[in-house]
Amino acid sequence: MKREIKVLVLALAVTFTACSKSNSGTDSGGITTPTTPTNPVTPTATLQSSMPFPFGAAVNISLLKNNTAYRALVIKEYNSLTAESVMKTAALHPAQNTYDFTDADYLCDFAKTNGKRVHGHTLIWYKSLPAWITNFQGDAAAWENLLKTHIQTIVAHFKGKVVSWDVVNEAFEDDGTLRNSIWLQKLGPDYIARCYTYAHEADPDALLFYNDYGHEYGPTKRAAILSMVNGLVSRGIPINGIGMQMHTRYNLGDSNWATAINACAATGLKVHISELDIAMNPNNDQTLTYTAALSEAQTQKYKLIVQDYNAIPKAQQFGITTWNVSDADSWIPGNYNRPDWPLPFDFNYARKPCYQGILDGVK
């Protein structure tokens, strides 16, 4: 008996030594550095390699330029990129006759070098308006010219580099009425249709989206959006897809996401989950911590949303984009002034358990 145990211990020791040799790099001071990932099932799985549709992130250009961990993660994980800020109006068109494409061009070059799709965000929005637009004085024709020139100059500049655009962003209020933006005030309700026509003239190959938030919170705003979109389609206005931002929260009823995704898919247009993040502190609790239970809940919700999206017809799956990369970069804590953990990577750019929830959503 004793002898058998000795043999077993010896055999285990030999096996362990062999394994750690084949799985390690240079020994330094007795510390072995692993050179291969430890996940035995899918050691090289990433979001871009695992998802059956494009998987993207909104990126912050200064982090992309200056933070090596961030840049490496973006290169590794995603195959579609949206600019978090640098393709908005204030950035691209700071004065009437001045366009600044520097940062957006940097993103396009980065995407080209690394084989990634670029989705353009956004041409016409009530936010990110430079003073020259809010102060603009002119009659209806002058406003129309402003709208058309703005859209067409930008779309033409990125032709062949940006495959798709959020042409109009957030044109509805939560009660389903058209938002009383400067665009509505100066151009009337049909400005939305004209934005699509102008964008299409500048780049007939670009896929054109209407982007908004809140589809999953209830039928009122969703119905207004879908009625507007269906109206454009029936008039032959060139619109190709719906962007569902999905700045969502973990404690919605589980059926809400499927209901919203399926309603958008019922238009027959492409559907882009365009700004996904899952807030874990929707009640603004300043003392909240991210517990194992919250992490597990978030994992299940990421999985469910991915499952719901994966169930719509393939040809309509434009992809899923998260709104930035890690909890350190998310806009949620700053925007709502609270601690929160909405994204699949943690403050150290390590994968959170909900990363696996995303992968599991397509299994």
Interface with ligand XIL by CB under 6 A: which residues? 84-85, 169, 245, 275, 331
- Label residue 57 left, alpha or beta by phi (over 0 means left) and psi (-120 to 50 means alpha): beta
CB of 243 to ligand XIL, least distance (A): 8
Query: Cβ of 43: how many Cβ atoms within 10 Å?
Result: 9
| Contacts for 65-68: CB closer than 8 Å, 24+ residues apart | 65/106
CB of 191 to ligand XIL, least distance (A): 18
Closest-approach residue to ligand XIL (CB): 331
Known catalytic residue at 296: no
Tell how strand 31-34 and strand 80-83 pair up: unpaired
The two structure tokens encoding residue 157: 């500049």
CB of 331 to ligand XIL, least distance (A): 3
Cβ proximity of 279 and 246 under 8 Å: no
Closest by CA position to 287, among listed 211, 362, 338: 338
Q: How far is CA 147 from CA 38, 139, 184, 352, in A?
A: 54, 13, 12, 43
Is it true that the peptide bond before 32 is cis, omega within 30 degrees of 0?
no
Catalytic residue among 84, 170, 173, 296: 170
Q: How far is the CB of 327 from ligand XIL (least distance, A)?
A: 14
Q: Which H/E stretch holds residue 3?
A: helix 2-22
Least distance to ligand XIL, CB of residue 258, Å: 22
Q: Reduce the DSSP state of residue 207 to 3 states and report it.
A: strand
Q: What's the CA gap between 210 and 328, in Å, rounded?
A: 29
- Token pair in block for residue 68: 């090596």
Among residues 249 and 303, whose Cβ is nearest to ligand XIL? 249
Alpha helix positions (H), 32-125: 47-50, 61-66, 68-77, 89-92, 102-113
Task: Tally the residues of the chain.
Answer: 363
Q: Supply the minimum distance, in Å, between the C-beta of residue 88 and ligand XIL.
A: 7
The residue annotated as part of the active site, out of 77, 84, 216, 275, is: 275
| Shortest CB 245 distance to ligand XIL, Å | 6
Residue 170 bears catalytic tag? yes
Question: Measuring CA to CA, which residue among 146, 87, 150, 71 is closest to residue 121?
Answer: 87
Helix (H, G, I), strand (E, B) or coil at 57: strand
Catalytic residues: 170, 275
